[in-house]
């Protein structure tokens, strides 16, 4: 005995199977999309950590340069042939008496400038408070 189904019943069952399969497919696609977005967020978080470490390393190199550059400049200036007669063996303390204050002034100006620039940027977060204000010269 064969079961006979009307064409309308067959189309109705086929449509139900199709709709159920489409729902499962949509659910699977949403799961894959969510997993992909989570993975991208994890990669972005990792990249931001690396960028922050990079920025800290660059800042430490810049600070070290600011500490050493005044001494390098003064040593070069003193060693250059000029009308100034300088013998480092006679007054070595004079070199350090010039280098330390100049290096401190450079560091103080750097700290002041950094604080001013950072404060200006924080004011403008999420708004237009710092629009048009250029705190950096470049």
What number is the average pLDDT over the span 22-50? 93
Which of 74, 63, 69 shows the shortest CA–CA distance to 96? 74
Is residue 107 included in any domain, yes or no?
yes
73, part of any domain: yes
Buried/exposed code over 79-117 (b: 16+ C-beta within 10 A; e: otherwise)? eeeeeeeeeeeeeeeeeeebbeeebeebeeeeeeeeeee
- When comparing pLDDT for 124 and 102, which is higher? 102
pTM for the complete prediction? 0.49
Residue 15 lies in a domain: yes
Range of the domain at 53: 11-78+90-123
Query: pLDDT tens, 55-79?
Result: 888 988 988 988 889 889 888 877 7
What is the chain's mean pLDDT, rounded? 81
Average pLDDT in the 33-46 region?
Answer: 94
Number of domains in the chain: 1
Domain annotation covers residue 84:
no
How large is the C-alpha radius of gyration of the chain? 35
Flag whether 43 is in a domain. Answer: yes
In a domain, 128, yes or no: no
Q: Is residue 110 part of a domain?
A: yes
């Amino acid at each position: 005995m064969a079961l006979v189904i009307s064409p309308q019943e067959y189309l109705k069952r086929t449509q139900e199977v199709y709709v159920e399969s489409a729902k499962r497919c949509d659910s699977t696609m949403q799961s894959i999309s969510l997993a992909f977005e989570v993975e991208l967020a994890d990669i972005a978080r990792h990249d931001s950590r690396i960028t922050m470490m990079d920025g800290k390393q660059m800042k430490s190199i810049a600070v070290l340069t600011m500490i050493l550059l005044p001494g390098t400049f003064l040593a070069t200036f003193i060693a250059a042939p000029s009308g100034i007669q300088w013998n480092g063996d006679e007054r070595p303390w004079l070199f350090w008496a010039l280098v330390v204050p100049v290096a401190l002034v450079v560091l103080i100006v750097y700290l002041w400038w950094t604080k001013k620039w950072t404060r200006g940027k924080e004011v403008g977060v999420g708004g237009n408070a710092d629009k048009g204000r250029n705190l950096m010269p470049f």
